[in-house]
Structure 1
């Protein structure tokens, strides 16, 4: 990784991993176009030229560079003081202090660490989010893909949310891009077949008796006729250009996946870190369009995440590692209502790190399965140390820094219970790792030969 302190600050981030071809996500800055380099700010206060280059590469990715410049394959170590400088530029002072404490307790040279921390104390936070890269040609872009009118399959799993699903389907009726079908996997009890009668849509409805989210999505993808799959939620609202924007974004950037933005309140601004185009570091199955060919190549969703968490994150990482380009699309928005009943709330925990009792595993075992499988045991432990103490407070306080800090203090008083929860989760995750990924192959019918071909998926 560019800066070694990221193993503490972002221990299980997509971009810490190299892709299967050995390349990282970070471009060599001397190979970037002048139009990109001119928007980046070189920090001459780093003690090493290598750190200056790495910082520029970090800026390029964070500011929205999407291109094909050659990337780094290996990274050399840089001075400790430069790592502290980087941490102070892009992370809060709380997390910089956290890194210092962790490194002192890990028996790194205390003089070097304290001096590095102290010498960088006046470094200001970067304001890169205020000046992202702008793709000015996007607005006037005439998409050939849209002109070709490919069929899009919209996939919606639903569970006991008919009032909200009604609005979802009305929004789809208003779409200004019309070559699409809708597949709904309805797990509701009771199932109301008459609900679907009057919608003016190319609509297929399957009643699935087992309440299983990833089974539902996998089943719909196998049924899909479209070359593009648009994954959607049953408690969301979208504007009439939603499908068109996703397709346009794919075409403009020659991407494979388009991850849309979610907001939770009507009229709320798009969060600053999602307000511009960039390479996405996540996948939200409530608002993402992707080529069906991605599923054909790497398989369907891993059912080890059934009734748990992070199944979408795992698929996003799998596609990233395989070399597919996933863009974060600021114009493909949805309003995510996050209603208080139905959906995931009826099928398991809403939050990956919060439990309903002191005797349940923390985090949800699928989270540790995911972390350990891709980043290894050490990175998983760093992630636990960073996140678990802050997860003690209830979900409604998730955005409050004071409450998160209070949670960290509370975790010290209930440390035996927290350790019990983590050990239990680790053990259950070990069982999942021994069993292995439950990724089904996708059978595709060849138009030329009229036969079904099995594409090998990761196991």
Structure 2
């Protein structure tokens, strides 16, 4: 392990983990210095640390945290990141509103302290410009490489507890430049619009200056040659319980059970929660007891509909080391569980969501990446993580319950990885029988909320204020062409009323959650 100390944009000291000094040209920028060290020590992990916090650097913990080579860890102790919360005006993803108390997925890196493997830097040589501003460079690397499979985290355990130095703040010019170089061009205009609407700022000159910079692309970067093999063992017994909510899909569920019965790695137990709202009705799943299955089946029959309630009931009955959250209209190959566990061992991660295409759908993502959502019908989670996590009943019959579940996991310090292989085919079966249209609280309102209050509840629960406002702006433009009011002033008034209704009902739902 190579440790690089720096201050005021310059490297001051380079040492090994056993405190041996390394001769180095200290005139270089920090970014170019890291690249030179990566060439000199291609098999080493490279740590950067501001001189003000070098005594708080926790090297022993870092060795455990950095458990494979395709990672990038960093931490800033300040409440905000290098790019302040204004970056939320142009990005709605969960990578913006970082929980600094736990290990949290984000491309927002810091010069205060961090670690990366030399092989990553060598793969980036001549692909990303070595900016003089080290913070800008680190954020650019993470932003470009996360979609390519580099796993990036804010990690508070890099430093021992104590007072930490605040990071420098970028100028408004840096913000516009970053947006221009890493997003589609329209976002610089939306950034200007949002700053004007919500902060009464009109930085036109930074907008114009940003057009002197070219967009940075990651097409020439290849990280596929960097092997991953985690030193963390997250699988012990390797047992797995499957949970499946179902309603009126007898034949589809049968096919799913047959797929499980052919698995090379069999589940221990499958928990089926069958819903039928008709009082006095009986189960239609006669094959559960009428056939022999190579696993235990726990069948729960209820008269209450709702997938959140059904999944929570199933989770309460899990006992194995792992839980597979499945659906009743999935199809998959015989080696699904075996291959998923192989990937989980490889990456040392406690949560995995598989590829979930519909029939004949072209797969968009082909690399293992940090997933911006969560799949409630195609995910594996270590059961011990679920002791305090359940699906939010306030989101029942709405949207966002699976994304909310994923955010609960992340806010406990557990990332969600997407696995391109193996895949689960989602048949998107027709809605089963026995379903009644739910009586939503706002169904009789003269002005219907927009967006759905459940979507709004997710946003106000997990996103920053800037993300909420940025979402409002983009939603305004998206819905304009899909509604009947073409007068922009009348449309704005109606949109504002619908938005306020959504906020009201979201807060009502929040009180009951």
TM-score (norm 1): 0.77
Question: Structure 1 residues 233, 75: closer, same or farther in 2, change over 3 A?
Answer: farther
SS in 2 for 1:239: coil
329 and 304 in structure 1: CA distance in 2 versus 1, 3 angstrom threshold: same
Report the counterpart of residue 210 of structure 2 in structure 1. Answer: 120
**What residue in structure 1 maps to residue 506 of structure 2?**
429
**How far apart are residue 388 of structure 1 and its match?**
5.0
2:414 to 324, 328, 338: 324
Deviation for aligned residue 1:185: 0.8
Matched, 1:375 2:479: no
Match of residue 183 from structure 1: 271
- Structure 2 equivalent of residue 82 of structure 1: 174
Say whether 1:18 aligns with 2:109: no
Q: Classify 1:12/1:231 alpha carbon distance in 2 versus 1 (closer, same or farther; 3 Å).
A: same
User: RMSD of aligned C-alpha atoms?
Assistant: 3.8
In the TM superposition, residue 269 of structure 1 has moved relative to its aligned partner by 3.3
Please state how far the C-alpha of 1:358 moved relative to its aligned partner: 8.0
Q: Determine whether 1:362 maps to 2:440.
A: no
Equivalent residue for 2:87? 6
- CA–CA distance in structure 1, aligned partners of residues 336 and 182 of structure 2: 32
CA shift in 2, pair 1:84/1:231, >3 Å: same
TM-superposition CA deviations, 1:208-260 (whole Å, max 9, x none): 21001111111111111211110011222222222122222222222110111
Structure 1 residues 306 and 200, CA, compared in 2 at 3 Å: closer, same or farther? same
Contact 2:248 2:434 in 1 (8 A): no
Q: Is 1:277 equivalent to 2:368 in the alignment? A: yes
Q: Deviation of residue 174 (structure 1)?
A: 2.4
Structure having the higher Rg: 2
CA–CA distance in 2 between the matches of 1:141 and 1:152?
A: 21
Partner of residue 225, structure 1: 319
DSSP 3-state at the match of 1:361: coil
Which of 372, 379, 382 is the equivalent residue of 1:291? 382
Report the secondary structure of 1:207's partner residue.
Answer: strand
How far apart, in 1, do the equivalents of 2:220 and 2:127 lie?
16
Q: Distance in 1 between matches of 2:192 and 2:205?
A: 10
Give, in angstroms, the shift of residue 378 of structure 1. Answer: 5.2
Distance 1:91 1:27, change over 3 A: closer
How far, CA to CA, are the matches of 2:332 and 2:176 in structure 1?
42
TM-superposition CA deviations, 1:58-95 (whole Å, max 9, x none): 33434322378957996542122322232223322222
Q: Which runs of 5+ in 2 are unaligned?
A: 1-80, 159-163
Distance 1:413-1:95 versus aligned 2 partners, 3 A rule: farther
Alignment match, 2:70 = none
Q: Secondary structure at the match of 1:428?
A: helix
The DSSP-based 3-state class of the residue aligned with 2:341 is helix
Query: Could you tell me whether the CA contact under 8 Å between 2:238 and 2:321 is conserved in 1?
Result: yes
CA contact (8 A) 1:151 1:181 kept: no
| Structure 1 portions without partners, runs of 5+ | 350-354, 395-405, 438-459
> Which of 7, 23, 32 is equivalent to 2:116?
32
- 2-structure distance, mates of 1:155, 1:79: 50
